[in-house]
Each structure stands twice: as C-alpha cells, then as structure tokens.
C-alpha cells in the first residue's frame, strides 16, 4: 500500500508545523479550520481517534496490516508540515509489525531516498520522474511478493 504525504493527525501540534511553515504551501490555520469542519458532526474525542488521526494509534491498531502481510510505502518531504506525523505513523505501524518503507523526498536534489537530512516538500513525488519511478517500483515489488 502506498501513501503519499498522508495527513496522519488532526492535531497540528508537531514541531514541523512551526519549522516548515515557510516551505510548505499548506497553512496550519486553514488546516485547523478544515479539521473543525470535518469533525463538526462527530464527538470531540474523535479528533484523536485512530480513523481520523492514525499517528495516534494504540498498540495493536495496525496488526491487521501485519497479519495480512501488507507492505506500507510512506513518502514525506523533509520540509513539509506533515513530516513529524508521517514519521510517527511509520513508527506506530512498525511497532505493530507492519513492514514500512519510508521515502524521503527532496526537491533540491530531485530524488527519493531512504536516508536522513534531505530537504524537500511532498509535491516532488509528482514532479520528479526519477522519484515517481522509484516509488512505483517499490510498490510493484510489494505486489509481486504478495502474489507469489
């Protein structure tokens, strides 16, 4: 399964919301308004429910993915607002036994890598052919593995 820059937590309380605000086109105040609008029909506690904020999943919430042998491919840009919550989502899934592959996207270097300290925003996956190809190849390997 592939998730490109997934919005993983409805609580905008991560450091990347402050440190990356200058780089990302998303704006925290508008995101907060969108969350309020989306949750207007739900009880307030749903803001931290795993279905709305999967980065806050409790131990065992993602074991069904591990049991089904799902490979999770997550992309993030190291200058996007969602960086910290995507990393946390990957950690939470790995804690539950899910095979997670994290792709960090760089707009300055034009590639996807499984390394730290790359500058980028999440839009690069759509703009850079090499990044897109590497991500798709990873997904194809996962599909082939699960159809053997």
Could you read off the pLDDT of 56-76 as tens digits, one per residue?
A: 999 999 999 999 999 998 888
Residue spans of the domains in the chain: they are 2-6+16-26+59-146
Band (pLDDT 50/70/90 cuts) for residue 131 is low
Report pLDDT digits (tens) over 72-92: 988 888 778 899 999 999 999
How far apart are alpha carbons 97 and 65 in whole angstroms? 8
CB contact at 8 A, 104 and 90: no
CB contact at 8 A, 53 and 47: yes
How far apart are alpha carbons 51 and 96 in whole angstroms? 16
């Amino acid at each position: 399964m592939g998730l490109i820059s997934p919005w993983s937590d409805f609580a905008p309380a991560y450091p990347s919301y402050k440190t990356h605000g200058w780089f990302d086109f998303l704006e925290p105040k508008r995101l907060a308004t969108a969350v309020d609008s989306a949750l207007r029909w739900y009880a307030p506690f749903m803001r931290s429910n795993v279905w709305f904020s999967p980065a806050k999943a409790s131990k065992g919430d993602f074991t069904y993915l591990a049991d089904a042998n799902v490979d999770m491919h997550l992309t993030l840009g190291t200058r996007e607002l969602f960086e910290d919550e995507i990393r946390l989502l990957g950690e939470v899934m790995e804690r539950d036994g899910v095979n997670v592959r994290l792709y960090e996207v760089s707009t300055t270097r034009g590639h996807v890598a499984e390394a730290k300290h790359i500058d980028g925003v999440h839009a690069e996956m759509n703009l850079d052919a090499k990044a897109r190809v590497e991500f798709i190849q990873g997904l194809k390997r996962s599909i082939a593995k699960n159809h053997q």
